[in-house]
Homo-oligomer: A and B are copies of this chain.
């Protein structure tokens, strides 16, 4: 499985993804699930992937190859005029990969499914964030739903629902994502460290900060440990629930 989350803030897009892939619990590997393409000063596009690894790797490879040899396929994600068109291109590529496998006699189409999050900015336009479904359709984040999650989303969802605010600072948002990922890492073996992070600053049109959080990261460890203690304290601060008298 996988856990990826993206937040659309007032002045930033923040992406975080884990790196564990598994085919059964005895076949665990580490793969990057976050990919960024950019034309400095013109566009930045970040993609996160969940689902069948062969599918997502093929999608990323095709997008990458085509962006380097644009004569083969026009426009590429580095040329499409809007992020909506970029989302459409990525969705079409996803469909192409899944259908190719399905045509080759592997009728278990469900097994090849993947879900993607794509966000970024093109010069002269607003930053945008999309969730691309396995079926190839997609939705865009709005002020009502300013974040997306894919993969093993449930463990880490309540805290984002409760605490996310697009007005947060980057440091606060990263702290929130660390807590959301920590809850997921603890509950589900199929989500694992290290975590990839990308912080895109609106209107910078530059890839910006990209870094990895591993088991030894002191800031993550402090948040993880602190969160456990803080949760217990928070719980203890609530009134106890008394059994109603009969």
Give the interface of A toward B (CB within 8 A).
154-159, 161-163, 169-172, 174-179, 183, 186-187, 199, 209, 211, 219-220, 222-223, 226-228, 230-235, 237-244, 246
Q: Is the CB of B187 within 8 A of A240?
A: no
Partner of A155, one of B157, B178, B227, B228: B157
Q: Is the CB of B223 within 8 A of A175?
A: no
A179-B238, A231-B234 known; 19 other A-B pairs, CB under 8 Å? Answer: A159-B231, A161-B186, A162-B186, A174-B240, A174-B242, A175-B235, A175-B239, A176-B235, A178-B241, A179-B235, A209-B244, A209-B246, A220-B241, A227-B235, A227-B238, A230-B235, A230-B237, A231-B231, A234-B234
Contacts of A242 in B (CB 8 A): 171, 174, 219
Partner of A243, one of B154, B199, B237, B246: B199
Given known contacts A158-B183, A187-B154, A174 and B235 CB-to-CB distance under 8 angstroms: no
Contacts of A178 in B (CB 8 A): 241
Specify how many copies of this chain sit in the oligomer. Answer: 2
Partner of A240, one of B158, B172, B234, B243: B172
Q: Is the CB of B174 within 8 A of A186?
A: no
Partner of A162, one of B170, B176, B209, B228: B228
Contacts of A163 in B (CB 8 A): 231-232, 235
Contacts of A209 in B (CB 8 A): 243-244, 246
Q: Least Cβ distance of A110 to chain B in Å? A: 14
Given known contacts A233-B234, A238-B223, A243 and B211 CB-to-CB distance under 8 angstroms: yes
Chosen A-B contacts, 7 in total, with CB atoms closer than 8 Å, are A158-B158, A158-B183, A159-B231, A159-B235, A163-B235, A174-B242, A175-B240
Most chain B beta-carbon contacts within 10 A, residue among A154, A156, A231, A238 = A238
Q: Least Cβ distance of A229 to chain B in Å? A: 9
